[in-house]
Structure 1
């Protein structure tokens, strides 16, 4: 029994050592991964140091991109503008527009109808004119407006 106890104890100690080694290896791997992740994050925030040469290269590329965007926008506007002329351009290209307003007024002038019955009873209306009133004082009128 003593011998079995000694063997079992030795095996338990060896197993405990193996488990401890596995735990320490896992902890080291975990620490290594955290360290790598931290370094990768630092690299993301660190970026490229700005120098005059780097900045000028970036600016040239940026200006070229902006120029391309402006050219595309101008082409789109030109294509949209080909179908749509301004009023001045229409007037300069189509000479029928010179006389179109006159023709419209002539056509409409013959068709104007006035109902004279609306104006027949104008004599019955009492229209007051302040200038004809002898008691009219403009100073009184201004004080009424300011109150």
Structure 2
């Protein structure tokens, strides 16, 4: 019964995967599975990389499908590395992801279901990693923007920074007040100290302070001296 079902399933798989399936023996073959990766994040590195392909090795035990098939995964020869996927690193995880599908389909031909499940799991794995990488890039950009914006923002006001500013402000105001007071006093002292007023000879003559021809020849007699002469006279 198992042998007949194996042959029948193999014929169906030939019609589904005419280019992708390769026989190794009557009970063993491999299927090439090319993943579909949408270019939806605008990442040039992704666009330059070919979508990855993985090879599913299938071997029927004698009691298949009442017994689970023996599976293995490998990359194609000379496979081009893909940024978010590597068969050698992800094989264990992907094969473990097939265990539920195997148990659910026990007793029935299941290879097509396993291929579909494997393809979806691998594509979802890549999508999750691409999303994580995109989020990391976005966070890095936002962090850089925050650092740049710090240049245009003042220091946050806290009670400590406010008290420090207040002390400096009051000290500066007091220094300005003292300086202005000193300047005002200096101006007052300067205003009190004036040079004696000098009268011309004509002014001395008109005020009766000149004697003889004194006004004619000496126009620079200080007022204080004249006053003194007037008192002595």
Give the shorter-chain TM-score range: 0.3 to 0.5
* TM-score relative to the length of structure 1: 0.34
The structure carrying a bigger helix percent of its residues is: 1
TM-score, normalised with respect to structure 2:
0.24
Asked which structure has the greater RCO (Cα within 8 Å, sep 6+), the reply is 2
